[in-house]
Amino acid sequence: MAEDAGREKESKQGGFKTMPFILANEVCDRFATTGFNANMITYLTEQLHLPLVEASNTLTNLGGTASLTPIVGALIADSFAGRFWTITVGSAPPSPFHLLVLYASLLFTAVGSGGIRPCVVAFGADQFDLHAKPASTNQDHTQSPTPRTTGWNFFNLYFFWMGAAVLLALTVVVYVQENVGWGWGFGIPTIAMFVSVVAFVVGYPLYVQMKPGGSPLVRVAQVAAAAFRKRNVLLPEDPSLLYEDKELDADISTTGRLLHTNQFTFLDRAAIVEDGDMLDGRPQLWRVSTVHRVEEVKSIIRMLPIWSVGILLITSASHNYTFTIQQARTMDRHISPHFQIPPATLSIFSVLMMLLSLCFYDRVFVPVARRFTRHPSGINYLQRMGIGLGIALFANVAAALVETKRKAVAADHGLLDSPHAIVPISVFYLVPQYAIHGIADAFTSVGHMEFLYDQAPESMRSTAAALFWLAISAGNYLGTLLVTLVHEYTKKRGDWLQDNINRGKLDYYYWLVTGLQVLNLVFYVACATHYTFKPLEVVVNEEEKGGEENANELQLLPSTKNEGNMV
């Protein structure tokens, strides 16, 4: 009876009924942060009169900081606080006083987002049973993990609603900032942050909450320390002799234990038991670790090359909120004689194409691809990322070609030395590059997040989601470094990034970024082709298999694939 009551309570928690509360929190947060930042290049250059390069670097640095704080929030959530309380505390908005100080306001927003961004994806995914189904009982290592279709749709749903929030901010908030005033323009996002807290807390009774498994950083450090201590110890030929403890790992392996792999075998020494490693039958974790904990570290190491590809992708896209807006300010933005588009609002074309692409991907592409690949998701997340990286190249090519065209028109009309003059060329020339970025984003961002969530150890999923934001952070900082280096190097050679972009060579900068993206794509294909999926032992309930008994049986999840990832 007690088990039935517990099962009934569990059935009332989680699932799609929790989505309105979780997504409302994230939608309001994204609406607020986008409202603060989308038109900031205009505020910095027009209101504070900062030079273009300094304004651009200010925004990329702030973007880097905002995407760096999630790693702190993720570690807090995975270690002891849990995802619910980390999101709730992180949702607290800055006070009105902070709005009087621009950088302090943005910094407080960045810190608050650090508690929300890494946890809300993992927390939302926790509401579903997302661990992959075993395809068979044998170890067919040529097959990638098979996700539960309902669960994996959550990631498309998440990015769709985030895009809708950004779209609303780019239209409503930017319009208010341009036509009503910056006070209201910053006040509306602040109100949205208050709403996000209320919306999230109201859904508390419905949430499935995963128990924190202790600090992942401590476990990584323990494995490293134990492996280093035993660096001269010979490894046993039989991996089954390495230390395992199901009871010790119970809280960090609820969906199954990680199995031993033959990669990074130097770490396996951490699982060799020697005299003094046990005290009263309990392992001294700074001296010996279980196979599961060693494999957690291996999983993170395997993920890093694929993760790092997102850094250059963000660097290439970061100019959409800086240089491209400055280009738009010099172009004809009129839709009618009495209405013109605010420059920052051009980003709606990127968001619109992302939303349309997500719908097309989910409703058209996946069913068609499934007929050919027999994969429930049509293609796996590594292939999805690869397609997105290829598409993103064309956005940079389009940006370079449009800037060349814009400068040619400026020269034809004698406007090269008139940086504030309107060049007689439609701002809609900028739409293709935004649209292509949006299409690419539907592949790369969702695929990247799916990859990080699926391949991360279950006890580190908030931390893995934070890696997504860490890549954005590093990409923004790299964008700052790249702009600074280009500006300094070309300053005496016909400055590419002048305040007067009519005399600059912004198109050369776009071609440089395109070249970097080509190298990034080649690196990604090499890494994805040789990527090995984590091997997982999962517990399968007989009810899921159609059996009448409620017995559990262990099966091996065939996910250590080392060939065919990109084909």
Which structural domain, as residue segments, surrounds residue 232? 216-296
Taking residues 192-215, report their average pLDDT: 67
In-domain check, residue 322: yes
In-domain check, residue 147: yes
* Residue 132 pLDDT > 60: no
Judge if 322 and 308 occupy the same domain.
yes
Distance between CA atoms of 483 and 60, rounded to whole angstroms? 10
Judge if 79 and 66 occupy the same domain.
yes
Residue finishing a domain among 296, 319, 353 = 296
Taking residues 19-46, report their average pLDDT: 63
Overall pTM > 0.75 = no
In-domain check, residue 194: yes
- Total count of domains within the chain: 2
Kindly state the helix (H) or strand (E) to which residue 551 belongs, with its residue range.
none
Residue finishing a domain among 273, 296, 319 = 296
Question: From the CB of residue 465, how many other CB atoms can be counted at a distance below 10 Å?
Answer: 29
Judge if 271 and 127 occupy the same domain.
no
Q: What is residue 41's predicted lDDT score, i.e. its pLDDT?
A: 65
User: Buried b vs exposed e over 259-270: b needs ≥16 C-beta within 10 Å?
Assistant: bbbeeeeebbbb
Judge if 361 and 344 occupy the same domain.
yes
Distance between CA atoms of 216 and 443, rounded to whole angstroms? 29
More confident: 55 or 249: 249
Confidence of residue 178 (pLDDT cuts 50, 70, 90): low
Judge if 153 and 282 occupy the same domain.
no
Kindly state the helix (H) or strand (E) to which residue 424 belongs, with its residue range.
strand 423-426
**The tokens of 224 are what?**
């490293």
Query: What region does 425 belong to: left with phi over 0, alpha with psi -120 to 50, or beta?
Result: beta
Judge if 363 and 275 occupy the same domain.
no
Write out the E strands in 389-535: 423-426
Taking residues 266-290, report their average pLDDT: 89
**The tokens of 161 are what?**
């609603």
Beta bridge partners of 538: 555
User: Buried b vs exposed e over 491-525: b needs ≥16 C-beta within 10 Å?
Assistant: eeeebbbbbebbebbbbbbbbbbbebbeebbebbb
Distance between CA atoms of 89 and 185, rounded to whole angstroms? 24
Judge if 291 and 305 occupy the same domain.
no
In-domain check, residue 557: no
Kindly state the helix (H) or strand (E) to which residue 556 belongs, with its residue range.
strand 552-557
Confidence of residue 84 (pLDDT cuts 50, 70, 90): very low
In-domain check, residue 429: yes
* Residue 8 pLDDT > 60: no
In-domain check, residue 504: yes
Judge if 147 and 240 occupy the same domain.
no
In-domain check, residue 542: no
* Residue 65 pLDDT > 80: no
Judge if 328 and 451 occupy the same domain.
yes
Amino acid present at 535 = P
**C-alpha 21, offset from chain centre:** 21
**CATH number assigned to the domain comprising residue 514:** 1.20.1250.20
Judge if 116 and 186 occupy the same domain.
yes
Judge if 395 and 481 occupy the same domain.
yes
In-domain check, residue 135: yes
* Tally of CA atoms within 13 A in the half-sphere of 560 that contains its CB: 16
Judge if 246 and 381 occupy the same domain.
no
Residue finishing a domain among 296, 330, 353 = 296
